């Protein structure tokens, strides 16, 4: 009944949504069993004859055969994605998956930073000096926080990032990442306002004599002079702890890896993002790893944002202007223009 739509569904995932081949195939793998279950229960007629009660019965069957909550959740996510495609393709009119809740799993939720806490961490970086000039090392620290909070990168991935791995596009940045097991992925969540800080720091690095194959981020001596050596993982963790202390965040622990779960949880509140897409974004081999260790809230009725940039619409130079830093409000928010990097040089 539904297998006839798999080819179009897969093409939709790859071409229209731009998902990776592995992600599209993972959806189809989860749907094959559902199609076999439908055939085994002698369902006939058009796909529009299926009702929510049929999906509930399939979920009950999965439960009786011993599927864990995480497995049933992944299967239901795939069915939801299929029905979104069927509506998009005008094959069905109603989404029978809307009111069917995802199975919950009793687990300890990962510690994350709230949206407002992330903004406080950024404002703890004294970007401007008394003369209204950009502090070069502080610009670097903002870039580190951008990659952690908005990119969800592992600490070692940040340290290994080269200048040539950062590619500008109309929406912001693409980061070419080689993660665990030498697996390559592309991170596309650095929106334009955040991308500006990264691009301006690249101009600073070029002024220092860096080449495209050199590290994006380097260490600094006391007095904010660049040493030119690759940044260390310990230095990033120290920075996060220092910023958390400045922001007076009430957390049992503060460390850089918390931003991975923070980024994943925030993306689940953005339209178009689900468990499979977040898994691909983080570079996890198993969707169970993403679900059990990195998602703090699966509530389906939670408010959604149209884009990740909309979620952090308050981010930008205005953060430091609101703080009262000298001349912070004189730097525009648009385009490349070199307004930050020009002062850093």
**pLDDT tens digits, one per residue of 322-331:** 554 544 433 3
- Looking at residue 79, what is its pLDDT? 94
Same domain, 126 and 273: yes
Same domain, 140 and 49: no
For residue 150, tell me if it sits in a domain.
yes
Which string of DSSP letters, residue by residue, matches 64-122?
HTT--HHHHHHHHHHHHHHHHHHHHTTS-SS-TTTT-PPPP---PPPP---HHHHHHHH
Residues in the chain: 345
DSSP state of 14: I
Same domain, 280 and 200: yes
pLDDT category of residue 41 using cuts at 50, 70 and 90: confident
The CATH number covering residue 70 comes to: 1.10.150
**Which residue, chain included where needed, has tokens 């991935």?**
157
Enumerate the β-bridge partners of residue 225.
Answer: 221
Q: Which of 53, 88, 123 is the last residue of a domain?
A: 88
Same domain, 47 and 158: no
Is residue 268 classed as helix, strand or coil in its secondary structure?
coil
d(CA 284, CA 295): 13
Mean pLDDT of 52-76: 91
pTM given for the model: 0.66
User: Chain-wide mean pLDDT for the chain?
Assistant: 85
For residue 227, is pLDDT > 90?
no
Percentage of the chain modeled with pLDDT above 70: 88
For residue 94, tell me if it sits in a domain.
no
For residue 24, tell me if it sits in a domain.
yes
Same domain, 166 and 293: yes
User: Highest mean pLDDT range out of 144-148, 231-235, 259-263?
Assistant: 144-148
Cβ–Cβ < 8 Å for 155, 237: yes
For residue 101, tell me if it sits in a domain.
no
For residue 331, tell me if it sits in a domain.
yes
- Looking at residue 45, what is its pLDDT? 66
For residue 109, tell me if it sits in a domain.
no
| Host domain of residue 291 | 115-344
Percentage of the chain modeled with pLDDT above 90: 54
Angle between helices 233-247 and 136-149 (to 10 degrees): 90
How many Å separate Cα 139 from the centre of its chain?
Answer: 22
Q: Degrees (nearest 5) of the Cα angle 269, 271, 273?
A: 75
- Looking at residue 329, what is its pLDDT? 37
Q: Is 178 exposed, middle or buried (0-12, 13-18, 19+ CB in 10 A)?
A: middle
Same domain, 140 and 187: yes
- Looking at residue 218, what is its pLDDT? 94
Query: Over the range 276-311, which residues count as b (16 or more CB within 10 Å of their CB) and which as e?
Result: bbbbbbbbbeebbebbbbbbeebeeeeeebeebbeb
Enumerate the β-bridge partners of residue 215.
Answer: 162
- Looking at residue 301, what is its pLDDT? 52
Same domain, 33 and 182: no
Mean pLDDT of 85-94: 93
Chain segment 333-344, per-residue pLDDT in tens: 333 334 453 333
Chain segment 145-159, per-residue pLDDT in tens: 999 999 999 999 999
Chain segment 118-177, per-residue pLDDT in tens: 999 999 999 988 888 889 999 999 999 999 999 999 999 999 999 999 999 999 999 999
- Looking at residue 344, what is its pLDDT? 38
Same domain, 81 and 173: no
For residue 105, tell me if it sits in a domain.
no
Looking at the structure of the chain, the number of domains it has is 2
Same domain, 82 and 204: no
The CATH number covering residue 252 comes to: 1.10.443.10
Same domain, 203 and 249: yes
For residue 231, tell me if it sits in a domain.
yes
Cβ–Cβ < 8 Å for 221, 227: yes
Same domain, 205 and 314: yes
3-state secondary structure 214-257: CECCEEEECCCEEEEEECCHHHHHHHHHHHHHHHCCCCCCCCCC
- 29 contacts: CB under 8 Å, gap ≥ 6: none
d(CA 208, CA 216): 11
Identify the helix (H) or strand (E) that includes residue 267: helix 258-267
Same domain, 66 and 172: no
For residue 210, is pLDDT > 60?
yes
């Amino acid at each position: 009944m539904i297998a006839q739509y798999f080819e179009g569904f897969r093409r939709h995932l790859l071409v229209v949504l731009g998902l990776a081949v592995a992600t599209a195939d993972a959806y189809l793998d989860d749907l094959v069993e559902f199609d076999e279950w439908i055939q085994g229960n002698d369902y006939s007629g058009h796909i529009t004859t299926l009702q929510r009660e049929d999906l509930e019965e399939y979920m009950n069957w999965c439960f009786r055969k011993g599927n864990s909550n995480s497995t049933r959740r992944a299967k239901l996510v795939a069915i939801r994605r299929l029905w979104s495609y069927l509506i998009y393709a005008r094959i069905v009119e109603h989404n029978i998956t809307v009111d069917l809740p995802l199975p919950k799993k009793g687990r300890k939720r990962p510690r994350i930073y709230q949206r407002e806490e992330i903004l406080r961490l950024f404002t703890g970086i004294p970007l401007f000096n008394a003369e209204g000039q950009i502090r070069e090392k502080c610009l670097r620290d903002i870039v580190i926080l951008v990659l952690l909070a908005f990119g969800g990168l592992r600490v070692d991935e940040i340290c290994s990032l080269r200048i040539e791995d950062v590619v500008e596009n109309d929406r912001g940045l693409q980061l070419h990442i080689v993660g665990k097991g030498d697996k390559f992925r592309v991170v596309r969540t650095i929106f334009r306002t955040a991308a500006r800080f990264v691009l301006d720091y690249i101009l600073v690095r070029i002024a220092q004599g860096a080449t495209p194959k050199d590290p994006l981020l380097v260490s600094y001596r006391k007095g904010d002079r660049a040493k030119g050596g690759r940044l260390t993982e310990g230095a990033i963790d120290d920075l996060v702890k220092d910023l958390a202390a400045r922001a007076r965040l009430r957390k049992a622990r503060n460390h850089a890896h918390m931003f991975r779960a923070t980024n994943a949880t925030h993306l689940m509140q953005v339209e178009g993002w689900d468990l499979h897409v977040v898994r691909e974004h983080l570079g996890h081999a198993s969707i169970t790893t993403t679900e059990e260790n990195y998602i703090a809230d699966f509530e389906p009725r939670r408010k959604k944002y149209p884009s990740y940039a909309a979620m952090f619409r308050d981010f930008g130079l205005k953060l430091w202007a609101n703080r009262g830093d000298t001349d912070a409000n004189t730097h525009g928010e648009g385009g490349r223009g070199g307004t930050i990097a020009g002062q850093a040089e």
